[in-house]
Amino acid sequence: MELKDRINSRQARIGIIGLGYVGLPLAVEFAKAGFEVTGFDVDVSKVDAINRGQSYIGDVSSDDVAASSKAGKLSATTDMARLHDMDAIDICVPTPLRKTRDPDLSYVILAVEAVRDRLRKGQLVILESTTYPGTTDEVVQPLLEEGGLKVGTDVYLAFSPERVDPGNATHTTKNIPKVVGGVNETSTALATALYGSIIKTIVPVSSTQVAEMVKLLENTFRAVNIGLVNEIALMSHRMNIDVWEVIEAASTKPFGFMPFYPGPGLGGHCIPIDPFYLSWKARQNGFECRFIELAGHINGSMPSFVVERVGEALNSQKKAINGSRIHIVGVAYKKDVSDMRESPALDVMELLHRRGAILSYTDPYVPTLDHGGMSLKSVAEAANGIDCAVICTNHTVFEYAEMPKRFPLVVDTRNALKGIAADNVFRL
């Protein structure tokens, strides 16, 4: 039976490499659609959890994992030899930056090498990891062809950017439109058929490079606009204007404006990182992304501005950061998730720690924290004697109305205290 027939009849065996925020939701959706899915990961704890029917991702319920596992549709392993048995292989591994801000494709390369060593005719390989335009053709395809099989005829290859938004209950893996670009028409058609079995809207594009660029444009768009509104926030502070009121009023315009909001900095795996992938690739082609890099500079400066506001707040009571007891409210990179990747709260805490602050924090999603020489545990309630609280992540579980009463000073970086007028509240 040809691969497309196996996909249409749900008999295709699907392998997912990387069982994190992207891979696990994808694996569960394929399993719920009736496919036999095998998850591959080097993290034994993740593999064991899935095989026990337990989820470690907030967006995926343990009930769904358990039901799929019990039905024999979902399993996980660390044994990469089993990749040979898969009909379609989806690579969902991290793509971080090196300290030099250059792309780090080491996880992608390791995953592709594992596939190459077990590759057989008729298989479909899809890369979902965010990367620069040209990665699929220039890196993945040559590696796969080292085994002697020809990509596009013997095996098939496509890129489909992940669009996961952790904590978003409305837009999920199943209903977010899926962009797909293959190395040839057959690869695109097979990837479209595969994703079309679990996702409502598929958006085929003409090449892998276009698909790769789509993801970078989406997140660079957000990074640049957040950079713009952060700069407006800095400007408004100098001019004694409430930037939050400005944004709210501007949002009443029914056309030509989309609201973005300032904050303590950028967090998550994508938005702080993806623009650097784009600017790095642009430099390889003799183009300088000045606009994008300027936005990155502004966004990267926001933790320092937050610390400056903390200093101003303490100074109003004739106190210094050095020796003050400062409590951080929320440390995850966004509300209602446990994800700490690139969280700006970490930068704020590290800067405060360097200045001699005595830190504590509350975050029900992050029980422990080890960063920058700090080793802390989340507390359910701040101890007595706190000099200043800093709202870095606006989790919905927090009782914001009580904070100006509980703490002598509150620095609000998220407008969580909107509508609360108090002399001890300092906004971004």
Model confidence over 69-122: pLDDT tens digits?
A: 999 999 999 999 999 999 999 999 999 877 777 788 999 999 999 999 999 999
Statement to judge: residues 234 and 123 lie in one domain: no
Residue 228 vs residue 296, higher pLDDT: 228
d(CA 361, CA 326): 8
Statement to judge: residues 145 and 261 lie in one domain: no
Structural domain includes residue 217: no
- What is the pLDDT at residue 278? 81
Statement to judge: residues 26 and 121 lie in one domain: yes
Catalytic residue among 92, 270, 289, 392: 270
Mean pLDDT for 379-399 is 94
pLDDT by residue (tens digit) across 162-179? Answer: 998 888 888 989 999 999
Statement to judge: residues 194 and 277 lie in one domain: no
d(CA 100, CA 129): 20
Q: Which CATH number characterizes residue 258's domain?
A: 3.40.50.720
Q: Label residues 65-92 b or e (16+ Cβ within 10 Å = b).
A: bbbbbeeebbbbbeebeebeebbbbbbb
Sheet holding 358-362, edge to edge: 358-362, 325-329, 388-391, 410-412, 425-427
Catalytic status, residue 270: yes
Statement to judge: residues 93 and 44 lie in one domain: yes
Structural domain includes residue 86: yes
Instruction: Examine the fold and report which residue of 206, 231, 254 is the final residue of a domain before the chain moves on.
Output: 206
- What is the pLDDT at residue 1? 52
CB 11 within 8 A of CB 86: no
Statement to judge: residues 262 and 406 lie in one domain: yes
Q: What is the mean pLDDT of the chain?
A: 94
In angstroms, what CA-CA distances link 71 with 34, 36, 66, 229? Answer: 9, 10, 8, 49
Statement to judge: residues 335 and 187 lie in one domain: no
Statement to judge: residues 112 and 183 lie in one domain: yes
Structural domain includes residue 215: no
Give the rounded percent of residues in the chain with a pLDDT score beyond 70.
Answer: 100
Domains contained in the chain, number: 2
Instruction: Examine the fold and report which residue of 137, 172, 206 is the final residue of a domain before the chain moves on.
Output: 206
Statement to judge: residues 200 and 232 lie in one domain: no
Domain that holds residue 131: 3-206
Structural domain includes residue 96: yes
Structural domain includes residue 421: yes
Structural domain includes residue 291: yes
Statement to judge: residues 277 and 354 lie in one domain: yes
Statement to judge: residues 268 and 373 lie in one domain: yes
Instruction: Examine the fold and report which residue of 176, 206, 236 is the final residue of a domain before the chain moves on.
Output: 206
Structural domain includes residue 330: yes
Give the CA diameter of the chain: 77
pLDDT by residue (tens digit) across 286-327? Answer: 998 888 889 989 999 999 999 999 999 999 999 999 999 999
Statement to judge: residues 310 and 422 lie in one domain: yes
